[in-house]
Amino acid sequence: MIKDWVLEELTVDQKLEPMVKPPITKVQLAQYAGASGDFNPLHLDDDFAKKIGMDGVIAHGMLVMGFLGEYVMKLAGQEARVANLKMRFGKMTVPGDEIRCSGVVERTYEEDGKRCIALELTAEKVSGEVVGSGSAILQLT
């Protein structure tokens, strides 16, 4: 990720360069199921998903949060620790969806002598549909 800023100098309302993930695949959902231990057939079995009224399998909400986690760690780089990460689940994500993660600086403050940066995060489809909105706190060391 190209950074044209340094963490120490981020200011309130500053928009951070987004990260776009490759389209979600069914293989990826199987990988995520195995790695997370969430084998809900809603994420793996099209027939099951159709039986309960979906067009097919949907992605794990936690996979989308994983994308936001990746984004935050990339923003933190080597300079900061992540103290908190939070996400509210929005619209459903399906295979083929490309997710774009973006962030805005919400506020900066000092705590225990450390500089903290609170970020607002959004995960959305290219169509603009929000699939996850959240926040993170970076702590500079």
Partner 1 sequence: MDLDQSVIGLTSNEYVFEVERRHVGQFAAAIGDDHPLYTDEEYANQSAYAGLIVPPTFPIAMNDGKTEMPLALDQRRMLHGEQEFLYYKPIRIGDRLRCQIKVSDLYDKEGKSGKMQFLKLDTEMKDETGELVCISRMNIVYRSLAN
Eight-class DSSP state of 55: S
Question: What is the distance between the alpha carbons of residues 43 and 74, in angstroms, rounded to a whole number?
Answer: 27
Residue 14 or 28: the one with the smaller Cβ distance to partner 1 is: 28
Q: Which residues contact 133 (CB under 8 A, 6 or more apart)?
A: 87, 88, 90, 120, 121, 122, 123
Return the biggest CA–CA distance within the chain: 55
Residue count, binding to partner 1 (CB under 8 A) = 37
- Chain residues 24-83 in contact with partner 1, contact rule CB under 8 A: 28, 31-32, 34-37, 61-63, 65-67, 69-70, 72-74, 76-83
**11 is a contact residue toward partner 1 (CB under 8 A):** no
**Cβ–Cβ under 8 Å, residues 133 and 64:** no
Shortest spacing between CB 69 and partner 1, in angstroms: 4
Binding interface with partner 1 (CB under 8 A): 21-22, 28, 31-32, 34-37, 61-63, 65-67, 69-70, 72-74, 76-89, 139-141
